[in-house]
Amino acid sequence: QVQLVESGGGLVQAGGSLRLSCAASGDTFRLYSMGWFRQAPGKEREFVAAISGGGGLTLYADSVKGRFTVARDNAKNTVYLQMNSLKLEDTAVYYCAAKSIVVAVPRTSYEYDYWGQGSRVTVSS
């Protein structure tokens, strides 16, 4: 069982930056691929980014490519999502997720085994 706790959300102006963190329990964090998803009001949950267990593989949604960066620190059991040049349409609740597979970057929500509680990001004009 893996428990995930997100932090770092908040209110930011368009063009600004935020960094989300997701801390995981357990001592096998490196064996999990990690993903970030988001859900805006009235919309379905969508893929944002993913990173493999060792950090060597990453994948991004086209809508965030070049603006967001996913990274992980396995010594701290933490995955990060650095969000730059934020846009109004980035407003959503952001979720981190874990899948028990090392070398992969899954992009569909049903592939993931564990989920955090979500962290709200609001981008204002």
pLDDT tens digits along 89-99: 999 999 999 99
In angstroms, rounded to a whole number, what is the distance separating the alpha carbons of residues 68 and 104?
Answer: 19
Confidence of residue 27 (pLDDT cuts 50, 70, 90): confident
**In terms of DSSP bridges, do strands 119-124 and 10-13 run parallel, antiparallel, or are they unpaired?**
parallel
Q: 45-100, pLDDT tens digit by residue?
A: 999 999 999 999 999 999 999 999 999 999 999 999 999 999 999 999 999 999 99
Helices (H) and strands (E) in the chain, counts: 0, 11
- Nearest C-alpha neighbor of 4 from the set 120, 124, 118: 118
What pLDDT score does 104 carry? Answer: 86
- β-partners of residue 94 are 38, 119
Confidence of residue 102 (pLDDT cuts 50, 70, 90): confident
Cα 45–Cα 63–Cα 14 angle in degrees, nearest 5: 95
- Whether residue 109 has pLDDT greater than 80: yes
Whose structure tokens read 């809508």?
63
